[in-house]
């Protein structure tokens, strides 16, 4: 290289250093580069020439609609998939992991959106499974040492879980926090967090963010995947936006607005978050539950839903929202109380009874309770109303496929075909399959438990539009949501629960986040 060329490079490097110095920071140390990544699945281009870079000690948010390619990119990094082309560099060295275990050994761990805990094992066993401490001489599991280390880890999060407690007896929020503790326990250089706050209360987010800031200060790099844009602006340093399998761009968080981020994600302006309602509520009640009592939970709980009404139910986790809906649907047995559909008393002792009486329930956890993950889109869509496709105990496959195709088109489910295994779909499309299976034979009452959890902003709007459409057609809807803006924006009326009781009803001018939280916290 000529003397002039060397001078030019030195000058360029000087100005680059000056730029970072003026920003009050140092030159970033790149710990991960993914260059020109391409990944195809049968009939689907999952990633198209995607590049991504991660710096030491930064929180780099990765956003995009469901199906944009976020999960695929992370699975390639973890070795769950192999790229068709492109390279991955870890700390300047090209790597190609063929399984997550190798990625973990090289300092990459992940907190999954779907809970991965083992319910039959206790808390400390879940944290250290596969990495058990043993006594030096006899090689016996050192339970006391692992209990002690688990307590120390929990203490960092301000958690007071009993380390000997069976994980199956924990709440969803507690299990999610346990997943975070386990990922941190690996002392990884890179931690991928996939919707890490999706199942925890707002009050638990703040201490979690403090842990993230502490990890940053220790040089840990974090890839933060979330649909909660407010969180991204609070915790992230940079954000990369994926759309339709392509990288749209990377921005410093201070150089982009929420509206700009949404536009980059969906490829269009969303002029409003919640669709307008142009229908009038009916005077008749499509559903009534009077004096519902379940031992150890509810006592004389009552609620009513009009035709064409969206009734919101909110409250803190543990307030009994989901348990009440499961009781009304027949999953849990009630001691006493009367349920009416269209004004007529009905007997509901099982989900089969609920379905027979035109009641549908979209559960909070789609993977555990809403879908058969190892079966096809077609089979999942047909499951709840299989009898209507049968003649002389034989499934009329033509009729079944026709209806399934109609539902996929109606709800814009992105799938390579009806025979695609549901587990291979994105989270948003899985949620649409759950909705579609119930709507294939429209119910009179549709219960939606956290219907937009883990769903991107564009898909949320599509679900909101669907809810408004169904309500305008006379369907009664109960929507449980932990997101206060959502429950306020979508509900015609709302009930607030605390300690397994309905502590208040709000509508019209009475509705505010302050009023809801006042009822939710102490009734």
When mean pLDDT is compared across 161-175, 220-234, 410-424, the lowest value belongs to 161-175
When mean pLDDT is compared across 284-293, 341-350, 369-378, the lowest value belongs to 369-378
Mean pLDDT of 112-122: 79
Q: Could you give the CA distance from residue 429 to residue 214 in angstroms, rounded to a whole number?
A: 35
pLDDT tens per residue, range 2-43: 555 555 555 555 544 544 444 455 557 999 999 999 998 877
Helix ranges (DSSP H) in 411-502: 427-439, 457-472, 484-490
According to CATH, what is the number of the domain 280-358+443-523? Answer: 3.40.50.300
Q: Tell me the backbone φ, ψ of residue 168, rounded to 5 degrees.
A: -65, -15
Long-range interactions of 250-254: CB distance < 8 A, separation 24+:
250/52, 250/53, 253/61
Assign 96 to helix, strand or coil.
Answer: coil
The DSSP string of 171-183 is -HHHHHHHHHHHH
Cα torsion 241, 247, 252, 255: sign: negative
Contact between residue 490 and residue 446 where contact means Cβ atoms under 8 Å apart: no
196-231 exposure pattern, b = at least 16 Cβ within 10 A, e = fewer: bbbbbeeebbeebeeebeebbeeebbbbbbbbebeb
Q: Which residue has the higher pLDDT, 135 or 180?
A: 180
pLDDT score of 197: 81
Q: Could you give the CA distance from residue 504 to residue 43 in angstroms, rounded to a whole number?
A: 51
Look up tokens 């990884």; give the residue.
188
pLDDT band at 129 (very low <50, low <70, confident <90, very high): confident
When mean pLDDT is compared across 3-7, 160-164, 380-384, 385-389, the lowest value belongs to 3-7
This prediction's pTM? 0.64
pLDDT score of 287: 97
What is the number of helices (H) and of strands (E) in the chain? 17, 22
Fold of 29-266: Rossmann fold (3.40.50)
pLDDT score of 131: 81
Q: Which residue has the higher pLDDT, 199 or 145?
A: 145
Q: Could you give the CA distance from residue 93 to residue 26 in angstroms, rounded to a whole number?
A: 22
Contact between residue 367 and residue 429 where contact means Cβ atoms under 8 Å apart: no
Mean pLDDT of 67-95: 92
pLDDT tens per residue, range 395-420: 788 888 999 899 888 888 888 889 99
Domain regions of the chain by residue span:
29-266, 280-358+443-523, 374-441
Q: Could you give the CA distance from residue 233 to residue 362 in angstroms, rounded to a whole number?
A: 31
Write down the mean pLDDT value for the chain: 86
Mean pLDDT of 491-502: 92
Mean pLDDT of 34-56: 91
Of 302, 359, 426, the residue nearest 46 (C-alpha): 426
Mean pLDDT of 248-274: 83
Q: How does DSSP classify residue 166? A: B
Q: Is the pLDDT of residue 200 over 90?
A: no
pLDDT score of 45: 83
Task: Kindly list the distances between the CA atom of residue 387 and the CA atoms of 252, 351, 371, 446, in Å, as whole numbers in the listed order.
Answer: 54, 15, 18, 20
pLDDT score of 23: 47
Q: Could you give the CA distance from residue 398 to residue 56 in angstroms, rounded to a whole number?
A: 55
Contact between residue 347 and residue 320 where contact means Cβ atoms under 8 Å apart: no
Residues 6+ apart with CB under 8 A from 388: 441
Q: How many CB atoms lie within 10 A of CB 274?
A: 16
pLDDT score of 3: 57
Q: Which residue has the higher pLDDT, 67 or 144?
A: 144
Cα torsion 218, 219, 220, 224: sign: positive
Residues 6+ apart with CB under 8 A from 512: 488
pLDDT score of 490: 92
Quote the crossing angle between the two packed helices 457-472 and 427-439, to the nearest 10°: 10
Task: Choose from 161-170, 230-239, 425-434 the range with maximum mean pLDDT.
Answer: 230-239
Percent of the chain with pLDDT over 70: 90
Of 164, 475, 449, the residue nearest 322 (C-alpha): 449
The DSSP string of 258-292 is HHHHHHHHHSS----SS--------SSEEEEEEEE
pLDDT score of 377: 92
pLDDT score of 476: 95
pLDDT score of 270: 55
When mean pLDDT is compared across 239-248, 269-278, 403-412, 509-518, the lowest value belongs to 269-278
Q: Could you give the CA distance from residue 148 to residue 307 in angstroms, rounded to a whole number?
A: 56
Q: Are 29-266 and 280-358+443-523 the same fold in CATH?
A: yes
Mean pLDDT of 116-142: 81
pLDDT band at 185 (very low <50, low <70, confident <90, very high): confident
Q: Is the pLDDT of residue 99 over 70?
A: yes
């Amino acid at each position: 290289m000529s003397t002039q060329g060397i001078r030019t490079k030195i000058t360029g490097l000087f100005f680059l250093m000056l730029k970072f110095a003026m920003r009050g920071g140092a030159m970033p140390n790149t710990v991960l580069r993914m260059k020109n990544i391409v990944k195809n699945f049968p009939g689907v281009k999952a990633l198209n020439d995607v590049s991504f870079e991660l710096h030491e000690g930064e929180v780099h948010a990765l956003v995009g609609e469901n199906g944009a390619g976020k999960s695929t990119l992370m699975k390639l990094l973890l070795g769950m998939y192999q790229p068709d082309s492109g390279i991955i560099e870890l700390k300047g060295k090209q790597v190609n992991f063929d399984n997550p275990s190798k990625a973990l050994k090289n300092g990459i761990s992940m907190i999954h959106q779907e809970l991965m805990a083992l319910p039959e094992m206790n808390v400390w066993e879940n944290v250290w499974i596969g990495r058990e401490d043993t006594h030096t001489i006899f090689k016996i599991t050192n339970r006391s040492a692992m209990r002690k280390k688990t307590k120390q880890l929990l203490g960092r999060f301000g958690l007071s879980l009993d380390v000997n407690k069976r994980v199956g007896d924990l709440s969803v929020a507690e299990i999610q926090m346990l997943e975070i503790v386990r990922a941190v326990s690996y002392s990884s250089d890179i931690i991928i967090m996939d919707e890490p706050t999706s199942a925890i209360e707002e009050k638990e987010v703040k201490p979690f963010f403090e842990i993230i800031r502490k990890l940053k200060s220790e040089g840990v790099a974090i890839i933060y995947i979330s649909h909660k844009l407010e969180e991204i602006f609070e915790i992230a340093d940079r954000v990369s936006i994926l759309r339709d399998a392509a990288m749209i761009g990377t921005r410093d968080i201070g150089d982009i607005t929420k509206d700009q981020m949404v536009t980059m994600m969906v490829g269009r302006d969303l002029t409003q978050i919640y669709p307008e309602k142009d229908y009038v509520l009916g005077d008749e009640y499509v559903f009534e539950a009077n004096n519902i009592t379940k031992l150890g939970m509810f006592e004389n709980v009552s609620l009513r839903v009009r035709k064409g009404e969206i009734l919101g139910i909110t409250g803190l986790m543990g307030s009994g929202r989901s348990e009440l809906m499961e009781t009304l649907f027949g999953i849990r047995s009630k001691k006493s109380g009367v349920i009416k559909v269209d004004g007529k008393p009905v007997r509901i002792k099982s989900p089969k009874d609920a379905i027979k009486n035109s009641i549908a329930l979209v559960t909070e956890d789609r993977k555990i309770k809403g879908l058969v993950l190892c079966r096809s889109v077609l089979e999942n869509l047909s499951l709840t109303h299989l009898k209507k496709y049968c003649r002389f105990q034989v499934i009329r496959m033509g009729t079944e496929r026709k209806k399934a195709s109609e539902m996929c088109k109606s709800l814009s489910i992105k799938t390579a075909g009806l025979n695609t295994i549901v587990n291979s779909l994105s989270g948003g499309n899985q949620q649409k399959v759950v909705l579609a299976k119930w709507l294939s034979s429209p119910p009179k009452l549709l219960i939606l438990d956290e219907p937009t959890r883990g769903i991107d902003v564009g898909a949320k709007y599509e679900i909101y539009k669907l809810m408004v459409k169904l309500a305008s057609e006379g369907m009664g809807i109960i929507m449980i949501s932990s997101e206060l803006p959502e429950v306020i924006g979508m509900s015609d009326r709302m009930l607030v629960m605390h300690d397994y009781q309905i502590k208040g009803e709000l509508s019209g001018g009475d509705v505010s986040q302050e009023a809801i939280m006042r009822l939710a916290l102490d009734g």
